[in-house]
Amino acid sequence: MGSFFQDTWLGLVSVVKNFNPIIDVLDILVISYIIYKGIQLVRETRAEQLLKGILLILALTLVAFLLDMKTLNFLMNNILQIGIFAIIVLFQPEIRRALERLGRARMGNVFTAEANRHAGEWEPVIPVIVSAVDRLSKTVTGALIVIERQIKLGEQIATGVILNATPSVELFGNIFYNKTPLHDGAVIMRDGQILAAACFLPKPQKEELIATHFGSRHRAAIGMSEVSDAIVIVVSEETGTVSVVVDGKMERGFDSARLTRYLQSALVGDGENDKTVGQTVVSRLLGKDKKLKKKKKKQKQEEKNG
C-alpha cells in the first residue's frame, strides 16, 4: 500500500515537471467534464450512496497508510484490489444508462434520415392514438402507451404478447379494458404499429423521490423514459388525466389538441421542418437567380439603347 501512494506522488511530481499548457489544460477540462457528468448521473440515486461508501473506503485506506495500521492496511488493500469489479456490479444500472444516453447522443445527424423515413408511418397514426387516448380518458380507463423511437425496446417487448397490429381506437379500447388479460401492462408501438401489449417496464431509478399519489403506471412510465428516448403516454385510472413522460420528466393535463401538437412535433415535425427549411433555401436561391437574370437583362438593354 505504501508503494501505491509513493507511486502516486511520484506520478504527480512528474506531471507537474512535464506540464504542457495546451494539451494538459485540455486534458484537465475533458476529465472535469467527465466527472461533472458522472456526478449528474448518480445524483439523487442509489448510486450516490454507494459512491459515498467508496469515498469512505478510500479515506480509511489513507488513514491506515499514514498511521501504519497493518491490519486495516491489509484489509483496505484487498478491498481496493477487487474494487473495480465491485464497482461494475454495483453500478451496473447506472453504467448501462450512461452508455444508452451516449448512444442516444448520436454522431452528428447519422440517424436523422432514418427518423425522417419513419415520420410518414407515424403521421396517419397520430390521430388514432389521440382519439383512443381521449376515449380512454373520458371513460377513466387506465392506459400505458410506449412509442419507440431510436432506442429499441426489445427487452421490454419480450415480456409482453406480440400483436404486430394496425392501430385503431377500438383495438386500444379492447386492450386496456380492465376485464381483458392484456390490460395490465404497456402497449409498445414501433414504426406506426402496435407491436406488443401487456409489456412490463423497468422501475424508475429515483423511485423514492416520486410523489406517493402516482400509481404503478406513472412509475413504470418514468422508469421506461429514463433508459430510452421513448415517448410514454399515461392515462390515469383514477382521474382520467393524460400525462406524457419523456427523459424521466412528466407533463400532465394533456387534452386532444395539445397531445396532437406534441406528437406531431416529436414524431413528424423534425422531418417536416427539415423539408421546409430545404424548400425555403431553394426558393431563396431561385429568387436570387431570377433577380440576377433581370439585372443582367436590364444592363444589356441599357447598353443597347446607349
The per-residue pLDDT for 146 is 97
Grid cell locating 140: 377513466
Q: What percent of the chain has pLDDT over 70?
A: 67
The per-residue pLDDT for 111 is 44
Q: 224-275, pLDDT tens digit by residue?
A: 998 888 999 999 999 999 999 998 889 999 999 999 999 999 998 754 433 3
Task: Give the global pTM.
Answer: 0.59
The per-residue pLDDT for 283 is 42
Q: 62-77, pLDDT tens digit by residue?
A: 888 788 888 877 887 7
In the chain the domains, ranked by start, together with CATH numbers, are: 2-105 (no CATH), 112-263 (3.40.1700.10)
Grid cell locating 259: 397531445
Selection from 32-36, 114-118, 255-259 with the highest mean pLDDT: 255-259
CA distance readout (Å), 208 to 40, 153, 233, 297: 17, 25, 22, 74
Q: Kindly indicate the confidence band of residue 164, based on its pLDDT and cuts at 50, 70 and 90.
A: very high
C-alpha span between 207 and 57 (Å, rounded): 27
CA distance readout (Å), 20 to 10, 17, 74, 153, 205: 18, 9, 38, 46, 41
Query: Taking the CA atoms of the chain, what radius of gyration do you get in angstroms?
Result: 28
Q: Kindly indicate the confidence band of residue 15, based on its pLDDT and cuts at 50, 70 and 90.
A: low
- Average pLDDT over every residue of 155-171: 93
Buried b (16+ CB within 10 A) or exposed e, 25-45: eeeeeeeeeeeeeeeebbeeb
C-alpha span between 110 and 133 (Å, rounded): 33
Mean pLDDT (the chain) is 77
Residue whose cell numbers read 459512491? 51
The per-residue pLDDT for 72 is 78
Name the amino acid, one letter, at 136: L
